[in-house]
Amino acid sequence: MGKSARVLGSEFRRTAREMNVLLKDYGYLYGSPGAYGLTEKGQQYAEEQFHDNGYGGFAYRGWETRTWDDETAAALTADMEANPRGLQTQGSLAEEDVREYKTDVATSDAGQDDYGPRFGWRELAIAGAVVGAIFAAPYVKPVWSNKVKPAARKVRARFAKRKLDGAQPSDATEDPE
């Protein structure tokens, strides 16, 4: 045991993604890109291992890896010679599946992937403003209480005084009748 899809693919001059699609076409894997599993035939040649990052809760991440036997290349080559189009009745080629996978990922409107929601620039700016306000609050409160409030009271008092002064009739503006 010990070959990843990338290493196995290098023997067939394919990328890891193309190799997984090829293994699916010949019945070693089932599923879709990013969510493959081993079939009974694949369990004869590969071993799956589950990994996690050791954290719990929101920070938890888990994934599976597959390592293929050295005999996998010979068995796959024999399968390819016996049936050049693969075991699937659709006869899909690796490039078509990879193109379909890229299109699905590019046009996905779900807004989420395996690692949680995706955020755009607007959401990140709002989050940054909120976090900045939380950190700035202890410094802003004294400035608000000691500078802004007293200045606002003075301005309000001036306007109130002008309003009172303007409401009283003056002798110079009255008509002498």
Give domain limits for the chain. Answer: 5-117, 121-165
Cβ neighbours of residue 75 closer than 8 Å, sequence gap 6 or more: 45
Q: What letter would DSSP give residue 119?
A: -
**Cα–Cα distance measured from residue 160 to residue 139, given in angstroms and rounded to the nearest whole number:** 31
Strands (E) across 7-126 are located at 29-32, 35-38, 46-52, 62-68, 112-113, 116-117
Question: Which tens digit of pLDDT belongs to each residue from 44-97?
Answer: 989 888 888 888 888 888 888 889 988 888 888 888 888 877 765 444 445 555
CA distance 165 to 86: 96
HSE (side-chain half, CA atoms, 13 Å) at 29: 26
- Answering whether pTM is above 0.85, one says no
In this structure, what token pair is assigned to residue 161?
């005084």
154 vs 135: CA distance, rounded Å = 30
Q: Contact 40/87 with Cβ under 8 angstroms?
A: no
**pLDDT for res 167:** 60
Where does residue 27 rank: exposed (0-12), middle (13-18), buried (19+ CB within 10 A)? middle
pLDDT digits (tens, 9 = 90+) for 140-158: 888 888 888 899 999 998 8
